[in-house]
Structure 1
Amino acid sequence: MRGLALAMCRSSSTVRTTPQNILVPASGIATNEGLKSPRQFGADLGAALDRLLGHPTRVARLIGAVTGDEVRAGLTEAARYGAVVHASGPLDHPEHPGADLRSPLLVRLGAQDDRVYAREWPGPVAFLVVTDSTSRSLAVFRRTVSRHGALFAAVRSTDPLVLAAVETAALDAGVHLTENLADDVPADPASAVADLPGADARFVTAQFRVVRSRWHAPALNPAGAPVTGSGEPVGA
């Protein structure tokens, strides 16, 4: 939750640098605290956002100032389409009292509301999209990214078959993927494409594409024994 909240706060005004669509199955998510329904998931995420933005110094490091009416209008418009899970409100900057800083907006939608979440929303707007199942989430992910593009995608699952299916979908759609990374969702949105001249596969060339999938993987110490590390395999 903290990693996702952190990623949602890294808004740079008009640029879509934060997660926009968060796909959660209606049946809920199994956790070490029991099954979490989409409503509980949204409440926990909202609480994580509030904790993260509870200190002015942290706000100044995370949130970019709103500089255009397009973002302000988008925050107002997006809140009309569904249940507001976390409202967007003004935040104080310790050094620039006149800066217009807004906390992330999180709105709960259904999978059928693709006319809303399939478009790009500038600024700190995010949607908690409740789907019939993980399979439906995967179909929504593949369709929206293939048709509209994305800078990055992230998945969290304990099922290796789900992880494999999402990686295949990401490679087919042409988007960088992080798998089961906590505080790196991604930690810096630009890090998903740091080595490439553009964002997803569409911005490189029509003749070839390079996208990456990142996940934690065991590394070997000099003696050959496994130690905790991280892997960054490349899919092309």
Structure 2
Amino acid sequence: LAAQGFDPDVLQLAPDTVEAPLAKELATHPAIALVDFTGSSAFGGWLRANLRDKLVFTEEAGVNTIVIASTGSFAAMCANIAFSLSLYSGQMCTAPQTIFVPAEGIATDEGHKSFDEVAAGIGAAIDALLSDPARAAAVLGAIQNPATLTRIAEARGLGRIVRDSAALQVEGARTATPLLLAVEAGDEAAYLEERFGPIAFVVAVKDAPDGVARATRAAREKGAITAALYSTEEAEIAAAIPAYAKAGVALSVNL
């Protein structure tokens, strides 16, 4: 900055702590005209409610979803979902949380898969991805906040455990592998609330259109940055694309 003729202090870093938070003090300071925030919906909502005289941009939490209607590559689909759930232990704003699967199962290149088989396939793919300790540590990284471990423990009671979360054997590091739970469509209090960290739900829905309807409603009502759809039916894909676009969420198909 100085080499380009700017005051070096034009860019400053002011880290705070839970005990001595600075964000509210800085955001409300009269010299501040623009606030660009990434983080929780609770604080994002506070900023938008209290900074009426400033320009405010917020990128907040949400519930990212996947709908599995059918697939032409069951193993590859499970592997991709496993990676998405594991990457940085689900602590990114793009991490999926809620996976909608028809209760009667889906058609795949390996034949019909029941709901339980789809859930088990994703769980097995997570196990395979994390089977090598060095790779697991590189993919998962560390758990930033100890509160996330508490959240994982509490989430175990929200559904049937398909795959439990566990710590890696890495000395001095706080770690956790993904927790995968199976729930019913009516359990919205569990799967439609953001559960920050490596926590995911496989939700039994009536059929694929029901899954798309629930996923797009979640994007509208809870917010979302990413959404995914797996389907071998072109008409189904074509019908889903505008629904996701209207919900304001970026959609990937058969990734």
TM-score (structure 1 length as normaliser): 0.72
Match of 2:149 among 60, 66, 72: 72
Tell whether the 8 Å contact from 1:14 to 1:71 is kept in structure 2 after alignment. no
Amino acid at match of 1:148: K
Q: Where does structure 2 lack aligned partners over 5 or more consecutive residues?
A: 1-77
What is the root-mean-square deviation in Å for CA atoms of aligned residues?
1.4
Equivalenced residues, count? 178
The alignment partner of 1:178 has SS state of strand
- The residue correspondences of 1:77-226 to structure 2 (distance < 5 A) are 77-93=154-170, 97-181=171-255
Residue 21 of structure 1 contacts residue 127 of structure 1 at CA under 8 Å; is this kept in 2?
yes
**Alpha-carbon distance, 1:15 to partner:** 4.1
Match of 2:84 in 1: 7
Match of residue 23, structure 1, among 83, 100, 103:
100
CA–CA distance in 1 between the matches of 2:120 and 2:91?
26
Q: Report the Cα distance in structure 2 between the residues aligned to 1:173 and 1:3, rounded to whole angstroms.
A: 24
Instruction: Find the partner of 1:50 among 123, 127, 140.
Output: 127
* One-letter amino acid matched to 1:21: T
Query: 2:94·2:226 contact (CA, 8 Å) conserved in 1?
Result: no
Corresponding residue SS for 1:154: strand
Give the counterpart of 2:137 among 49, 56, 60: 60
Q: Indicate conservation of the 8 Å contact 1:11/1:17, yes or no.
A: no
Q: Secondary structure at the match of 1:177?
A: strand
| Letter aligned with residue 112 of structure 1 | G
Counterparts of 1:14 and 1:41, CA distance in 2: 24
Shift of 1:67: 2.6
Higher mean alpha-carbon deviation, 11-20 vs 171-180, is at: 11-20
Verify the 8 A CA contact 2:119 2:162 in the aligned structure 1.
Answer: yes
- In structure 2, give the amino acid aligned to 1:111: A
Q: Which amino acid aligns with 2:169?
A: D
Look up the match of 2:69: none
Counterparts of 2:89 and 2:129, CA distance in 1: 17
CA-CA distance at 1:13 after TM superposition? 6.5
Write the deviation string for residues 39-98 of structure 1: whole angstroms up to 9, x where unpaired.
0111111111111001112112210211323211211111101100010001134xxx11
Deviations 1:79-118 (A, max 9, x none): 101100010001134xxx1101111000001111111111
Aligned-partner residue type, residue 101 of structure 1: T
TM-score, reference length from structure 2: 0.67
Calculate percent identity across the aligned residue pairs: 37
Structure having the higher Rg = 2
Change (3 A) 1:126 1:101: same
Q: Contact 2:89–2:142 (CA<8 Å) still a contact in 1?
A: yes
SS in 2 for 1:123: coil
Distance 2:204 2:90 in 1: 26
The more displaced of 80-89 and 11-20 is 11-20
- Counterpart of 2:114? 37
- Is the contact between residue 38 and residue 130 of structure 1 (CA under 8 Å) also seen in structure 2? yes
